Structure 1
Amino acid sequence: MSTVHQMHILSGDLTLHKRTLAPIRVLIYGLRRYDLDRVKALVSSSDPSADPEKAKGYLSHQSKVYLADVNDHMDYILESMDMFGTISENLISYTFNSISYQTNEAMRRLSLATIIFFPLTFLTGYFGMNFHRFSATNMSDAFFWAIGIPLVFVFVLVWSWSDLSRIAHVIKKQTAEKQYQQARSFVAIAQPQESNPHMPASDVASLCA
């Protein structure tokens, strides 16, 4: 969990840096894009008789090229921070999903043990009743197992039917894939022999191998 804690701190730092650098990118873009517009507005407000179209900006062409390059770098940095933030969040989600999967597997094993021993617990409680006339209490322990083992088998079969069906489906799928691969190998072997019917038997045997 210490790694997850550090990743949370890293994600917070990335968010803080993005919030710090985003206004700087807006400022750089505004300096480059609206330099001439600001000068025209100042000329119009200070001297109404002056022609705003003849006004020139404060920044030279070289400065605008430099600011454009800085703006591109800022875009790249912010996009990289977005990517790193997304990766960190995905890793955190993956960690918790892995923990949840392990917990579910542990609960699944416990549930399987419960399914197996629940019928035996029921039978133990049933035969442990304090009855005055209960002929089954005079039997040996073999009578208990003669009832318990079939009951456990039926109980497990009923409650694990979905898992057993899934296992059977996987086995059937693997068998079908194996048969498909064998069929492809047979076709690949048969095609060279059909194209060259005079192929020696030793070459056919080497292809089959």
Structure 2
Amino acid sequence: MTRLFEKTYLKPGAAPGHGAHASEHPHTGDATVSAWHYHHEQLSELDAQRTLRDGAGAHAGGLVWLHLQGTPSSQQLHAMGEAFGLHPLALEDVRHQGQRPKVDFFEGQLVAILRQPRHHNGSVELDQVNVFMVGERVVISVHSGEHDPFAPIRERMRSANRNFNRLGAAYLAYALMDTVIDQAFPVLEHISGRLETLEETVLDQPDRNTLNQIHILRRELLVLRRQLWPTRDVIARLMRDDLEPFTPELFPYLRDAHDHTIQIMDLLESYREMAATLIEAYMSAINQRSNDVMRVLTIIATIFIPLTFLVGIYGMNFDNPDSPWSMPELYTYYGYPVVWLVMLSVVAGMLYFFRRRGWL
């Protein structure tokens, strides 16, 4: 089940940027590091470890893109911070997962944090993505998940996409954020299918497992809304602030990404309403089923009320032949079959009456 709260915190009272220093945390495993150089519409792979250690100074012209897949170790963060001059607070946000999507500006640096949803073992998981733009020619991306979602961007760079060459690092940073944003659409499509399946189940055969699935889905939608809603503000701020790399020429692309965030939020709100409606439909279906059961039981009890009255009367056995108040039918030759005929006639008459009233 998707966790509502997953952020890791420093010890209260710790200094800001505490989590960025390698000496303060044990070695917990390294992220996979890759690096590329893009120049004159050509993409070439670099020595990743050397780029992480020495920065991009050795590559004149073009763009340098450093990508870390997985959660970086403290040693990697320390090396990256030293090589590219990254602010300790930005590195701390990489170290401690579960951050709210946001964008921060430091001297000559832009840092954006986004959350990418994905399906894992039948539930929704959220990976954190940190995008650094250092100056006008260096972009660093850190993706906490197991699989790299940015392979299509490298294919676009290899296919001589002129926007990367014309708009530089700002366009690459936009492309990374746009890819993360669009990853929500397949997840929402899967949720839509689950909603349709649950709706059919609620109308046909609702049970307690159905209710559990609805609650799990509502929980996932709540987590997605809480983590994806601020993404819209991130893109809006990039268009609103006077940032040198994000020129008006890039604004149409940012508006397109902003439009995608609005579509995602509209879908999320619609699905949340549908999930709430499903709970109401489930309760209505359960109540209707209970009413149907009670109606059948009431009809059966109502049918047996006059029959019980008849057999109760004739079960009293007041058979004194000298009393004028004795039951005359007790010694009737055809009394027994006549009583059965009367009871069956009562049952048939009541069933006919119930059907005419629409109760059956």
Aligned residues of 1:120 and 1:148 also touching (Cα < 8 A): yes
Structure 2 residue aligned with 1:142? 337
More helix by share: 1
| Residue of 6, 9, 25 corresponding to 2:216 | 9
Structure 2 residue aligned with 1:21? 228
Number of paired residues?
Answer: 144
Structure 2 residue aligned with 1:193? none
Structure 1 residue aligned with 2:275? 88
Deviation at 1:130, TM superposition (A): 5.5
Structure 2 residue aligned with 1:44? none
User: Comparing 19-28 with 68-77, which one deviates more in the overlay?
Assistant: 19-28
Aligned residues of 1:116 and 1:152 also touching (Cα < 8 A): yes
Structure 2 residue aligned with 1:107? 294
Aligned residues of 1:115 and 1:159 also touching (Cα < 8 A): no
Aligned residues of 1:29 and 1:71 also touching (Cα < 8 A): yes
Deviation at 1:75, TM superposition (A): 1.0
Taking structure 2 as the reference length, what is the TM-score of the superposition?
0.34
1:112 is aligned with what amino acid?
Answer: I
Deviation at 1:25, TM superposition (A): 1.4
Deviation at 1:143, TM superposition (A): 3.0
1:104 is aligned with what amino acid?
Answer: N
- 3-state SS, counterpart of residue 84 of structure 1: helix
Q: Summarize the alignment of residues 33-182 of structure 1 with structure 2, pairs less than 5 Å apart.
A: 33=240, 35=241, 58=244, 59-129=246-316, 131=318, 133-139=326-332, 140-163=335-358
User: Comparing 83-92 with 14-23, which one deviates more in the overlay?
Assistant: 83-92
Per-residue CA distance 1:148-202 (angstroms, 9 max, x = gap): 23333343344443128xx9xxxxxxxxxxxxxxxxxxxxxxxxxxxxxxxxxxx
- Partner Cα distance (2:348, 2:210) in 1: 45
- 3-state SS, counterpart of residue 358 of structure 2: helix
Unaligned runs of 5+ in 1: 37-56, 168-209
- Partner Cα distance (1:126, 1:146) in 2: 16
- Partner Cα distance (2:248, 2:277) in 1: 43
Unaligned runs of 5+ in 2: 1-207, 321-325
Deviation at 1:117, TM superposition (A): 2.4
Larger radius of gyration: 1
% identical equivalent positions:
28
- 3-state SS, counterpart of residue 163 of structure 1: coil
1:7 is aligned with what amino acid?
Answer: I
- Partner Cα distance (1:69, 1:157) in 2: 67
- Partner Cα distance (1:19, 1:93) in 2: 23
- Partner Cα distance (1:69, 1:154) in 2: 71
- Partner Cα distance (2:209, 2:347) in 1: 44
Aligned residues of 1:18 and 1:81 also touching (Cα < 8 A): yes
- Partner Cα distance (1:158, 1:97) in 2: 28
Aligned residues of 1:28 and 1:71 also touching (Cα < 8 A): yes
- Partner Cα distance (1:151, 1:101) in 2: 29
Q: CA RMSD in A?
A: 3.1
User: Comparing 93-102 with 21-30, which one deviates more in the overlay?
Assistant: 93-102
- Partner Cα distance (2:282, 2:353) in 1: 34
